[in-house]
Amino acid sequence: MEILKLLWPSLAVIAFSLSAVAVRRWWQLRRNRKADADQAVALAPLAAELGGEVVGADRAAAWSADLRGPLASHVTGFVDKLLQRSKPRYDLALDFRRGPWHVRVAQASMRRQGSRGVIRLQEHRFEVSTARIAPMRLTRRQHTDFLGRSVAPGYLSGWLAAQPLTVARTNAEWLPLRLPPETDHEFAVFANDLAVASRAFTPEALEWLVDQADALPVVIGRFLSLTFENGIVYTTMRGPIDEQTVLPVVDAIVGALDRMPDVRPRHPAAV
């Protein structure tokens, strides 16, 4: 009994601390759910205009989730694991068709420890379903750093040459494709089959992407990267879905696909 009396102040402090953590976590989850609900409402008019729909977490997983998980760059390292406070999950998605192309814009989030408490990280992924072709990736080259200083030609070469999962897990070839000089300055292309990539990335498709990338918001256009893998073309961007940029980004992608002779539309449920 005497021991209990001695420990009681410490036990009370521990109980209070645990209660405070539980209440704070409940409040954060409630706030996040409300934010998702509000965003779904905000996206509904755009979905209706496009003849599509906004779907909730139970149906919101990206088509490419098995190829690249949500917020993958934030859950790979040891430090990332220590800071992680929840599993990444898809919260909502916007589905619609743009011409013959089936499109999904899926939004994911996770809770992570920040310098001033737990924060919510979010990203959204643009996907277009296509007929299956050999894996390839097109990425915008970087000629300056974040301070506007000129950089060497090999700047971010690891990012440019990063292998998609279907290539990495089979140890398949992943080779650079030399583009015409006027577009090789703008984009780096790596592919599993150079003949397929050469036929796909026509001058018309590349010129279209150059024009569209320059017209997109700076952060989106500057870091534009399109991965073609397992019948899906996708690109991932930070933050929640912005209804103002959905169509410009989607139109940039499908406009390029329209100019790529070997790339055809496919229903996402088709095997």
pLDDT digits (tens, 9 = 90+) for 18-74: 454 455 565 566 777 898 899 999 999 999 999 999 999 999 999 999 999 999 988
pLDDT grade for 12, boundaries at 50, 70 and 90: low
pLDDT digits (tens, 9 = 90+) for 229-271: 999 999 999 999 999 999 999 999 999 999 999 899 999 987 5
Identify which has the larger pLDDT, 113 or 3. Answer: 113
Q: What is the pTM for the complete model shown?
A: 0.87
8 pLDDT above the threshold of 90: no
The predicted pLDDT at position 218 comes to: 82
Three-class secondary structure assignment of the chain: CHHHHHHHHHHHHHHHHHHHHHHHHHHHHHHHHHHHHHHHHHHHHHHHHCCCEEECHHHCCCCCCCCCCCCHHHCCCHHHHHHECCCCEEEEEEEEEECCEEEEEEEEEEEEEECCEEEEEEEEEEEEEECCCCCEEEEECCCECCCCCECCCCCCHHHHCCCCHHHHCCCCCCEEECCCHHHHCCEEEEECCHHHHHHHCCHHHHHHHHHHHHHCCHHHHHCCEEEEECCEEEEEEECCCCHHHHHHHHHHHHHHHHCCCCCCECCCCCC
